[in-house]
Chains A and B, each alone.
Chain A
Amino acid sequence: MDDGNEIEIRDLNLWYGDNHALKDVNLDIRKNRITALIGPSGCGKSTFLRCINRMNDLIEGVKIKGEVLLNGENIYKKDVDVVALRKRIGQVFQKPNPFPMSIYDNVAYGPRIHGVGKKELDGVVEKSLKDAALWREVSDRLEGAALDLSGGQQQRLCIARALAIRPDVILFDEPCSALDPISTHKIEDLLQELKKKYTIVIVTHNMQQAARVSDYTGFFLLGEMIEFNRTRVLFENPEMEQTEDYITGRFG
């Protein structure tokens, strides 16, 4: 179901010291849709992604102006509990990063911190692994080491770990760049299932991947959002010449 906007970005600016890395970005991220962010290296797309769950707060010398409204509430307000925010906005990173513990404990880690009791935990782990399309492959070895899984399985485990805390939004930062084509297709298929329950934002270098998986695509260049459009329109008939030049490989 498309229920309007999950996140609204208003006049977002970010500086790393003197470097003005994001310039007046405005964007609406639709609920239960996949929004892809593309652009050349250093254009600001990952910086932008990290603004959505305040991961940039951890970087020294960062200054942020503007608003990121999660269901109407500005996540940069002074009294916002960042830990609670990151429970609502999960993130999956470029390289699979399972903890050096069992498959079960990886998924149970977040819920345990958030106070989920032992009784419920088995159900949460099973459901999260099922939702991440990994259950069938690991159900008989939940106590096995997560690091023994293949790269693609590790990434789906990280997705299960993100799902276990029941977020509203999941951010994916180049989730397939370290994976082979089969694992990549599994993640892409999984994204289509996940969007039924979650709002997804994905940063990708792979334009074909953005075209395959997303409903909306934003093109960043030098810290500016040049074009935000329905994915089909952006890849078939972009409105901005810079978008056309980038996606057709006329510069980059």
Chain B
Amino acid sequence: MPRTRLMREIDRIKDDMRKMGILVCKDITDAINALEKKDVVLAENVIEDDKRVNKLYSDLKERCIQAIALHQPVAKDLRFLTITLDVVYNLERIADYSDDIAEIVYFVRKYSVNVDEIMEMGVVANRITENSYKSFLERDLELVEVVGRDEDWMDELFEKIFPILKDLVNDKPENFIFAMNMIMVAKYLERIADHAFNISQRTRYAVLGDTKSI
């Protein structure tokens, strides 16, 4: 009784999750580029993309529920499908933060200043998200460790942001609105890393069945 239909469906879910992951990572990069260049058009693209991510999310969620209901999977198939529900939820939340960052571009478009550490946080956010969903799809526990290290690095960068922005405002009080918005951007990026870390922890359960990671 080989369960070829279930296996085919799992393969299709993997393909679509990869597409969703690529899109989510592209949106992080685009949002940060839009912020750096104060590119409102690029920011609007990110906001538009969020709808595509939402659509992929609902579609994948529905297909996982259907596969569970119709095929009653067990063992690694069950772990894959239940954790996929978690992974796509976290990817969708990450895309929401890119959308939030893109919305901020409009409010800071007249400022010529940038904060290098926030740009670096953007790079880390992209890398940690890519590594997180890949760790799950490729059942790669080494990537899980890389995600853990990037999450620590993101926390360190976040802690640097507040004094940097304080100095920016002290030097030029007209940067106040910009700095307020950058605090929010930094917080969004730090939250992206938290969601990516969640994905990597679920990967541990999917691969090892380690229930402490659920």
Q: Do A and B come from one complex?
A: yes
Closest B residue to A245 by beta carbon equals B75
Judging by beta carbons under 8 Å apart, are A236 and B75 in contact?
A: yes
Known pairs A249-B1, A249-B2; A244 contacts B76 (CB<8 A): yes
Contacts of B68 in A (CB 8 A): none
- List CB contacts (< 8 Å) of A204-252 with chain B: 207-208, 211, 235-238, 243-244, 247-252
Say which residue of A237, A238, A252 sits within 8 Å of B1 (CB atoms): A252
Judging by beta carbons under 8 Å apart, are A236 and B209 in contact?
A: yes
Chain A interfacial residues counted at CB < 8 A: 15
Judging by beta carbons under 8 Å apart, are A250 and B74 in contact?
A: no
Tally of A-B Cβ pairs under 8 angstroms: 37
Judging by beta carbons under 8 Å apart, are A237 and B72 in contact?
A: no
How far is A207 from B208 in the complex, measured between Cα atoms in Å?
22
Known pairs A236-B209, A237-B79, A237-B209; A247 contacts B74 (CB<8 A): yes
Closest A residue to B3 by beta carbon equals A249
How far is A211 from B75 in the complex, measured between Cα atoms in Å?
11
Contacts of A243 in B (CB 8 A): 75
Q: Say how far A177's CB is from chain B's closest CB, in angstroms.
A: 15
Contacts of A251 in B (CB 8 A): 2
Contacts of A250 in B (CB 8 A): 2-3, 7
- List CB contacts (< 8 Å) of B167-214 with chain A: 208-209
Judging by beta carbons under 8 Å apart, are B79 and A208 in contact?
A: no
Judging by beta carbons under 8 Å apart, are B75 and A237 in contact?
A: yes
Q: Say how far A146's CB is from chain B's closest CB, in angstroms.
A: 34
Q: Give me 7 A-to-B residue pairs in the complex whose CB atoms sit less than 8 angstroms apart, sorted by A's number.
A: A237-B208, A243-B75, A247-B75, A248-B75, A250-B2, A250-B7, A252-B1
Q: Tell me the B residues contacting A by CB distance below 8 Å.
A: 1-3, 6-7, 72-79, 208-209
